[in-house]
Amino acid sequence: MRFIKILAILALTPLATNVIAQDSLFSSPVNYGVLGGPYAAYLNDFNGDGHKDIAVANNSGQTIAILLNDGHGAFQPPAYTAAENQANAIFSADFDNDQDNDLAVVNYSTNNVSIFLNNGNGTFQSRVNYAAGFAPYSVCGGDIDGDNDCDLAVANAFTDNVSVFKNNGNGTFQNAVNYAAGTGAYAVFMADLDGDSDKDLAVCNMIAGNVSILKNNGNGTFRTPVNYTVGNYPASLCGGDFDHDNDIDLAVANSSSNNVSILKNNGSGTFQAAVNYNVGISPKSIIAVDVDQDDNVDIITANSTSNSVTVLGNNGIAIFTNMGSYSTSSRPSSVDAADLDGDGDKDLVTAGTTCDSISVLFNLTLYSSINENNSPVLAKGFALWRNYPNPFNAATIIQYSIQTRQDVKISIYDISGGNVAAFYEGVKAPGIYRQTWDARKMPSGIYFARLEGADISSTIKMILLK
């Protein structure tokens, strides 16, 4: 039988046994200690093993930290590399064209950007610094001048401008060229906003309460900014095609008004008036990613004061629904997403400055069978609930309900599809059942519990971390 991802988790309420309710999209946080005030995290493969690792910029420790992925979503203890003080943002790409991923880190108090070239194994050379503007707060990258290497843009909060660094092709950079933005240029995003195949810039200006659009002239120089009003104290922005019209729309996290502004692109790099959606308290970081496998770009914010991330689900035409908030470590100031455990969906990582830790939240998007018309179906004859706890390190409880007397089979599979445990096969009477899986002899990884009936099945994802 073939499977597809769905949003809903099957649940049964005590008073209405035929009701199916939505449950958690993400797991409880798994925290990893990172010393030095982790302020920003970026996910990429740093040691060439095909798995997404974590790079962390530490605001007070004068270090960056690298946490390597074991391939199943568990991470090795952090390895530290000396950096500048008050590192506020981090970006990763292959700067020197040697097929590994390097790092760029902006340093708020020293007014520069540090380049760390990768040795190819997830360790890094000593930093090389390039002067930026006053109080740089954000960095992004892309090919702005059409020479097939990764250039950089840095937003400078106190000089109200953007520093553009052109790559020489070998991971060294030319001196910055500065372009005016708005008052309090706090974050910068790079994408082709006007459909002319070059990378433009969008800058959120915290004091001005707007977003500046700087269109590329095609050679890596930029035009005078055009501004669009958003919420109060915009702190971060991202982009994606939210309405499937083949252009890049923008989403802005407004840290004082506690909402997200959606700016729909008219297709020419001009934007419609902002539409706002409430999130958590003091959103400091925002990303655009499909977290529920419905081919629509959703939005995630890291909410510093409410110690959470909020998920805004996209209906496909850039109308968003709050799908809930999920706890993180204290004071999250950044969020990033990637498939950390190899199961095909996007997990989250946040950095929390006050507790010296980062949080990993695993995506719990579930599977359901599809019918012969290739349409998703929910189990009508039984319900399989999310296991608890999840993640777990020894044993977990699997709960399910049977609404009619029928033949059922309950099995556990590993990530490769191997059957590692069979709990029951036979006839079950109507009722609610609980089964404990003792996984002490199993290795860490992703497992699936599958409940099968006469003509339908349901599967949940379980995460074993030792």
Burial of residue 160 (CB within 10 Å: 0-12, 13-18, 19+) is: buried
Residue 455 confidence (pLDDT): 63
Residue 359 confidence (pLDDT): 95
Asked whether 319 and 297 are in contact (CB, 8 A), the reply is no
Asked whether 402 and 12 are in contact (CB, 8 A), the reply is no
Q: How many other CB atoms are found less than 10 A from the CB of residue 346?
A: 21
- Where do the DSSP E strands lie in 50-184? 53-58, 63-67, 79-82, 87-93, 102-107, 112-116, 128-131, 136-142, 151-156, 161-165, 177-180
- For the chain, the straight-line distance linking the first and the last C-alpha, in angstroms and rounded, comes to 31
C-alpha closest to that of 259 among 238, 283, 242: 283
Residue 1 confidence (pLDDT): 29
pLDDT digits (tens, 9 = 90+) for 439-464: 999 999 999 998 888 766 788 889 99
pLDDT digits (tens, 9 = 90+) for 92-141: 999 999 999 999 999 999 999 999 999 999 999 999 999 999 999 999 99
Asked whether 352 and 332 are in contact (CB, 8 A), the reply is yes
Asked whether 40 and 334 are in contact (CB, 8 A), the reply is yes
C-alpha closest to that of 139 among 168, 108, 172: 108
Q: Which residues of the chain have pLDDT under 70?
A: 1-23, 365-382, 455-456
Q: How far is it, in rounded angstroms, from Cα 131 to Cα 107?
A: 10
Mean residue pLDDT across the chain: 88
Asked whether 185 and 203 are in contact (CB, 8 A), the reply is yes
Residue 5 confidence (pLDDT): 31
Bridging pattern class, strands 112-116 and 128-131: antiparallel
Q: How far is it, in rounded angstroms, from Cα 324 to Cα 358?
A: 20
Residue 16 confidence (pLDDT): 22
Question: Strand pairing partners for 249?
Answer: 240
